[in-house]
Amino acid sequence: MSKHWTPNAPGTHVFVLRLNAPVSLSDSPYLSTEIQSGKGWERVALEAPDDSPGAVDELLTKLEKDPVRQRRVMGTLVQRVVPWGHGHHSRILIVLDINPTEAAPIPEALPTPGT
């Protein structure tokens, strides 16, 4: 039986996010993360809200200090996309809270690169 990737619904949610920065995107740190999505991961383009312009930089700093750790992040996933590479695109995740207080545990972890 094959496993199918299911994209997350747009809207504001708490997402499980990981750092997964491929060499080909080393000049685009805002594209270095993925959110857990069904049975897989979806690369997202991080964007800071107008009222918190440093949110993405702060999140990336935390991820780079502990690159294997998956983090819970509250954000709004929008349908707008950012093109990258040859024919690829990623939806935008507007980062609202890098330390959400939602107490739910991180679901059974999917493999993290490098582990």
- List beta partners, residue 18: 34
- DSSP track, 40-69: EEEEEEEE--TT-TTHHHHHHHHHHHSTT-
Q: Is residue 30 part of a domain?
A: yes
List the chain pLDDT tens, one digit each, 115 residues.
445 567 888 899 999 999 998 888 888 999 999 999 877 899 999 999 999 999 999 999 999 999 888 999 999 999 999 999 889 999 999 999 998 875 445 555 445 555 4
pLDDT for 21 equals 86
The residue whose two tokens read 């990258």 is: 84
The CATH number covering residue 92 comes to 2.40.50
* pLDDT number for residue 7: 82
User: Is residue 3 assigned to a domain?
Assistant: no
Residue 106 belongs to some domain of the structure: no
pLDDT score, position 85: 86
For residue 100, the model assigns a pLDDT of 84
Host domain of residue 18: 11-97
The three-state secondary structure class of 30 is helix
Domain count, the chain: 1
